[in-house]
């Protein structure tokens, strides 16, 4: 039996909810471990949950914002000079990310070899799927303040979608059509000015609308600022989405494959 399961590692917005790391989500496919985003605090929390003997096989970044990529740095040192010497994760980057990451580490006079020395680096391209742990991975560029890519993982046993950080777009629901579990950001307050041009986030209500339009099996919300109220966010999403909706919680295992079995 194939095991396809998600474990949120960090679910904070760009700052920290109480005791929570920034964005990072572990997708496991028959023991192959894919970390989707690697924001501040994610590796510390991962090691807290799993110890050092469960190497991450691959990391996929949705975009180069601090809350989605900063823990690549301590991970690099954990592998290079720390206790993670036998780890050699693939690192799948969105278009433009190598240049942005190179600029980031130039602060301490490093260049992009800072990453290629440690990670098996690849760049994905929207419209071209790539294979990872038996999944076909596809990406969709979404509106945000930098290039950001929604990600979809399709496996024979089930499917998982992640909106990444995004502003409103009619393209994300068709892209996520029928996924068993949709992890959607809901960073924006319901009372925010929704007419603001070029906004880079959505509300929980809008996340629920995407889930309903896409016909997903289950909706998990992430990137929700604690001060907006977690229960309020779940309730807002539920006004739009008729299926199960919950908050993504660090360390709480979500079976993806079982969702498809129970729905069929």
Query: Would you tell me which residues interact with Zn ion (CB under 5 A)?
Result: 65, 67, 165
Rounded to a whole number of angstroms, the minimum distance from the CB of residue 15 to Zn ion is 10
Strand pairing category for 135-142 and 148-155: antiparallel
Rounded to a whole number of angstroms, the minimum distance from the CB of residue 67 to Zn ion is 4
258-262 own/partner pairs: CB under 8 Å, 24+ apart: 259/158, 259/180, 259/181, 259/217, 259/218, 260/157, 260/158, 260/159, 260/180, 260/217
With respect to Zn ion, which residue has the nearer C-beta, 38 or 234? 38
Residues 6+ apart with CB under 8 A from 169: 142, 143
In which order are the strands placed within the sheet that holds 4-10? Answer: 120-123, 90-93, 58-60, 32-36, 24-29, 4-10, 254-255
| Rounded-to-integer distance, Cα 164 and Cα 201, Å | 9
With respect to Zn ion, which residue has the nearer C-beta, 57 or 165? 165
Rounded to a whole number of angstroms, the minimum distance from the CB of residue 68 to Zn ion is 5
- Cα–Cα nearest to 40, from 7, 5, 6, 74: 74
Host H or E run for residue 230: helix 230-238
With respect to Zn ion, which residue has the nearer C-beta, 67 or 180? 67
With respect to Zn ion, which residue has the nearer C-beta, 7 or 163? 163
With respect to Zn ion, which residue has the nearer C-beta, 38 or 84? 38
Rounded to a whole number of angstroms, the minimum distance from the CB of residue 39 to Zn ion is 7
Rounded to a whole number of angstroms, the minimum distance from the CB of residue 255 to Zn ion is 26
């Amino acid at each position: 039996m194939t095991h396809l399961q998600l474990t949120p590692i960090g679910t904070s917005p760009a700052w920290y909810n109480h005791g929570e790391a920034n964005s990072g989500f572990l997708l496991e496919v028959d023991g192959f471990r894919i970390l989707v985003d690697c924001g501040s605090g994610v590796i510390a929390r991962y090691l807290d949950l799993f110890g050092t003997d469960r190497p991450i096989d691959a990391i996929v970044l949705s975009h180069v914002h601090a809350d989605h990529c900063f823990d690549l740095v301590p991970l690099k040192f954990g592998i290079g000079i720390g206790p993670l010497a036998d780890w050699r994760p693939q690192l799948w980057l969105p278009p433009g990310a190598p240049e942005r990451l190179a600029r980031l580490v130039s602060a301490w006079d490093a260049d992009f070899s800072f990453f290629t020395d440690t990670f098996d680096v690849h760049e994905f391209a929207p419209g071209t799927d790539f294979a990872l742990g038996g999944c076909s991975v596809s990406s969709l560029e979404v509106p945000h303040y930098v290039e950001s890519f929604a990600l979809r993982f399709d496996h024979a046993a089930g499917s998982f979608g992640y909106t990444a950080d995004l502003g409103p777009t009619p393209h994300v629901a068709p892209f996520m059509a029928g996924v068993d579990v949709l992890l959607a950001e809901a960073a924006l307050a319901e009372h925010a000015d929704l007419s603001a041009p070029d906004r880079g986030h959505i509300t929980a209500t809008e996340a629920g609308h995407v889930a309903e339009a896409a016909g997903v099996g289950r909706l998990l919300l992430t990137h929700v600022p604690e001060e907006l109220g977690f229960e309020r966010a779940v309730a807002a999403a539920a006004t739009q989405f008729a299926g199960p909706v919950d908050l993504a919680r660090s360390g709480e295992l979500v079976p993806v494959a079982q969702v498809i079995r129970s729905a069929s």
